[in-house]
């Protein structure tokens, strides 16, 4: 398994590396700014992930260096509120996320015990395509709260670079993604969305 972490800030990439190393799952390699994570020190004698390779890269989310259809899963956490062009950022996530080989999406294959059948996981991704997971915050589904967010949005953005009143679901749809799951929390201001690139 491979993990590619990105941020526009070199300092945040360094924080990521430091935390990964502090977790004692990491064997650092100086090749290609990558490092191997191993959970051999885990208290669990049979860890679910024996090892995986992680790479941390400073890049612009709207102009990434990766080829199309490269990733099975793309994850963004609390980024759409601060991207200059959130639709462009999502379109880039859509570009690099693996498309379905048959143009259709379906449910992930699971065994009767509820666990994923790892033998078929790779086949499922190729047939049904990848997923884009978003954990974001934005407009509330309560009018009174959205009115407050609107009132102070400019001042908040000027101070923190965060537009907390963006319509997250609309941004996702405008980027051409298909929303599969939406859950909202905290008076509707926190969004958990699973989308597909087609």
Task: Between 146 and 58, name the one with better pLDDT.
Answer: 146
Do 28 and 123 fall into the same domain?
no
Shared domain for 49 and 75, answered yes or no, is no
Residue 54: predicted pLDDT: 72
CA distance 4 to 49: 16
| 49 and 133 part of one domain | no
pLDDT at 149 (0 to 100)? 97
pLDDT at 173: 96
Q: CATH no. for residue 194?
A: 3.40.50.150
Does the pLDDT of residue 139 top 50, yes or no? Answer: yes
The count of domains in the chain is 2
Q: Which residues form the domain of 119? A: 68-198
Kindly report, residue by residue over 88-103, the tens digit of the pLDDT.
999 999 999 999 875 5
- 98 with 184, same domain? yes
Which pLDDT score is estimated for 51?
A: 52
Residue with the larger pLDDT of the pair 82 and 49:
82
Question: Is pLDDT at 16 greater than 90 in this prediction?
Answer: no
Of 9, 39, 59, at which residue does a domain stop?
A: 59
194, β-bridge pairs? 133, 181
Lowest model confidence (mean pLDDT) among 3-7, 76-80, 107-111, 130-134: 107-111
Domain end position, chosen among 59, 76, 109: 59
Residue 164 has pLDDT above 70, yes or no: yes
Residues 55 and 89 in one domain: no
52 and 120 assigned to the same domain: no
Look-up: residue for tokens 């669990």?
44
In this prediction, residue 177 has a pLDDT band, given cuts at 50, 70 and 90, of very high
Query: What's the pLDDT at 118?
Result: 44
* Higher pLDDT pick, 126 / 94: 94
Same domain, 4 and 24: yes
- Whether residue 102 is found in the same domain as residue 150: yes
Kindly state whether residues 136 and 193 are assigned to the same domain.
Answer: yes
Q: Answer yes or no: do 82 and 132 share one domain.
A: yes
Strands 73-77 and 131-137, bridge-based pairing: parallel
Residues 92 and 184 in one domain: yes
């Amino acid at each position: 398994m491979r993990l590619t972490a990105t941020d526009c800030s070199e300092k945040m990439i360094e924080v990521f590396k430091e935390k990964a190393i502090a977790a004692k799952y990491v064997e650092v390699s100086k090749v290609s700014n990558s490092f191997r994570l191993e959970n051999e020190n885990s208290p669990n004698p049979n860890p679910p992930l024996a090892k995986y390779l992680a790479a941390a890269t400073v890049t612009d989310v709207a102009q990434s260096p990766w080829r199309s259809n490269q990733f099975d899963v793309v994850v963004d956490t609390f980024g759409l509120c601060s991207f200059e062009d959130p639709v462009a950022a999502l379109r880039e996530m859509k570009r690099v996320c693996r498309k379905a080989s048959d143009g259709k999406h379906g449910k992930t294959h699971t065994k009767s015990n509820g666990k994923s059948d790892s033998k078929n996981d790779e086949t499922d991704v190729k047939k049904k395509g990848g997923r884009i997971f978003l954990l974001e915050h934005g407009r509330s589904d309560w009018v009174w709260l959205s009115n407050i967010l609107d009132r102070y949005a400019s001042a908040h953005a000027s101070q923190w670079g965060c537009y907390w009143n963006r319509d997250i679901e609309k941004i996702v749809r405008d980027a051409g993604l298909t929303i599969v799951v939406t859950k909202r929390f905290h008076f509707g201001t926190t969004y958990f969305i699973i989308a597909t690139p087609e």
